[in-house]
Structures are given as structure tokens and as C-alpha cells.
């Protein structure tokens, strides 16, 4: 049974700092891994998707890496801004027709 | 492209009542999944619909049922509401299938409060 964990549960950093969010999954046989952002009480916004054959994806100040063999993914946020404050969730898909399993999320607060 | 839409935005019900939530997928998507998200937790998978059939189901009781229509839109029905059913209900759509990205897109959610 796939289980997804995220560390840390919460993080508070000063504006401008670079930071790393961690995601771990127990079953390395995945189809893809997706990182999402969620603002309080809102839906999920897709940030980055990494397919199983890829090692990383980049979008602006965000970079996500994937190491299937160790069951880990990291989301790197460069030069953090107060607008980055939100909960970040990672989710894994086992096969193309399977359900998506989410981690509990990391709550990020960027202090001006 | 309107993306994934959900209605209503908010809903207040009392224990024992029944509720229906609605979702329209992103244009071109054929697979709809429903999730329940309690405060402070990650979304929990309820079920997934493809070609009007329930294809996958999470660990939710039979009080939770759904439907997918020929235009790929979907409904989530919850009977005999309990206080513990209070949550944000999220709908996600994608085009499922081998070889594709299978990137999920989420709607804004329906906030259900059971009193």
C-alpha cells in the first residue's frame, strides 16, 4: 500500500530565503508525481508534474526533483516571497488508471 | 477554457440529510475523481469515474455514491450525513491512459458543513 509523507509539517522562513520541501513515498513503482499548492479553503493548483522517467522539472523559481529508487521528491523554492505562503502537497500516481495518493502537506509561511 | 468547476461553493446541512455535489471537468478530460479533505489534512480519495463507471474506490462507506454523465460531468451524493462528513470536497479531472501525462486538475471545491 502506497503511503506518502511530507517533512516538515510546517515551515516559517524570512522573505528571500531558498527552501526545500520533502516528499517521501513507500512504493517506488509510480507513474508520476505531482506537486500542488493550496491556499486556505481553496482548491489545489498544480505546480509541477514529474513523470517516472524524469529526474526533475522546473518552472520559474520552482524546481522539483524525483529519485524513484529512494522514494523521494523535493520541491525547491528559490528567493521565497510572502505570496508563496500556502500549503504544498505532493501526490503520486501508481499507474495511468490508478488513484492519486496525497501526502499531508507542508504549511509554508514566508515572513516579510 | 473554464477549467474544473464545482457547485455549490458552500453548503450547510443537518445530520441525516442527503447532499449532491456537482463537478464539470476540464475540457477534453474524461476521468473525474472525488476527494474529501478535512481541515489540516491531505485530500483522501473517494472514487474515480471513467466512461460513466466507477473504476476505483477509496475507503469510504456506501453512503458515498456518485455518477458520471455522458458529457463527463459528475455528481457526488452523500446520504445520512454525519458531523464527520464536514469537509472540503474536491473534484479533479484528467485524461487517463498509458502514455499520457495524466496530470490532474482540481476545482475550487465545495465546503460542506454538517450541523
Contact B108 A99 (CB under 8 A): no
How far apart are the C-alpha atoms of A79 and A95, rounded to whole Å? 35
- pLDDT above 90 (res A1): no
The pLDDT, as a whole number, for residue B1 is 65
B60–A contact, CB cutoff 8 A: no
In chain A, residues with a C-beta closer than 8 Å to the C-beta of B33 are 99-100
Per-residue model confidence as pLDDT tens digits over A72-92? 999 999 999 999 999 999 999
Cis peptide before B8 (omega within 30 of 0): yes
Contact B45 A98 (CB under 8 A): no
The pLDDT, as a whole number, for residue B99 is 64
How far apart are the C-alpha atoms of A22 and B3, rounded to whole Å? 29
Cβ neighbours of A88 (radius 10 Å) = 22
Q: Cα B63 vs. chain centroid, distance in angstroms?
A: 14
Per-residue model confidence as pLDDT tens digits over B38-53? 988 899 999 999 989 9
In chain B, residues with a C-beta closer than 8 Å to the C-beta of A44 are 43, 90, 92, 106
Q: Are B98 and B82 in contact (CB under 8 A)?
A: no
Which stretches of chain B score pLDDT less than 70? 1, 97-99
B66–A contact, CB cutoff 8 A: no
How far apart are the C-alpha atoms of B114 and B93, rounded to whole Å? 26
The pLDDT, as a whole number, for residue B28 is 87
Highest-confidence segment of A12-21, A35-44, A97-106? A12-21
Contact B104 A98 (CB under 8 A): no
Q: Give the strand pairing for B110-114 and B10-13.
A: parallel
The pLDDT, as a whole number, for residue B103 is 85
Q: What is the mean pLDDT of residues A11-32?
A: 95
Contact A46 B56 (CB under 8 A): no
Amino acid at each position: 500500500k502506497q503511503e506518502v509523507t511530507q517533512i516538515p509539517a510546517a515551515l516559517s522562513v524570512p522573505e528571500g530565503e531558498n527552501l526545500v520541501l520533502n516528499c517521501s513515498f513507500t512504493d517506488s513503482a509510480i507513474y508520476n508525481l505531482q506537486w500542488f499548492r493550496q491556499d486556505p479553503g481553496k482548491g489545489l493548483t498544480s505546480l509541477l508534474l514529474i513523470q517516472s522517467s524524469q529526474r526533475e522539472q522546473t518552472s520559474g523559481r520552482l524546481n522539483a526533483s524525483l529519485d524513484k529508487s529512494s522514494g523521494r521528491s523535493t520541491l525547491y523554492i528559490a528567493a521565497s516571497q510572502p505570496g508563496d505562503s500556502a500549503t504544498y502537497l505532493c501526490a503520486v500516481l501508481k499507474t495511468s488508471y490508478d488513484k492519486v495518493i496525497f501526502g499531508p502537506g507542508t504549511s509554508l509561511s514566508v515572513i516579510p | 477554457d473554464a477549467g474544473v468547476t464545482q457547485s455549490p461553493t458552500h453548503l450547510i446541512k443537518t445530520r441525516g440529510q442527503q447532499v449532491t455535489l456537482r463537478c464539470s471537468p476540464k475540457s477534453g478530460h474524461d476521468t473525474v475523481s472525488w476527494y474529501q479533505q478535512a481541515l489540516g489534512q491531505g485530500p483522501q480519495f473517494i472514487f474515480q469515474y471513467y466512461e460513466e463507471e466507477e473504476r476505483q474506490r477509496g475507503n469510504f462507506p456506501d453512503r458515498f455514491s456518485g455518477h458520471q454523465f455522458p458529457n463527463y460531468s459528475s455528481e457526488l451524493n452523500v446520504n445520512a450525513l454525519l458531523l464527520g462528513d464536514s469537509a472540503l470536497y474536491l473534484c479533479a479531472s484528467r485524461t487517463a491512459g498509458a502514455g499520457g501525462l495524466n496530470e490532474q486538475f482540481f476545482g475550487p471545491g465545495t465546503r460542506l458543513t454538517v450541523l
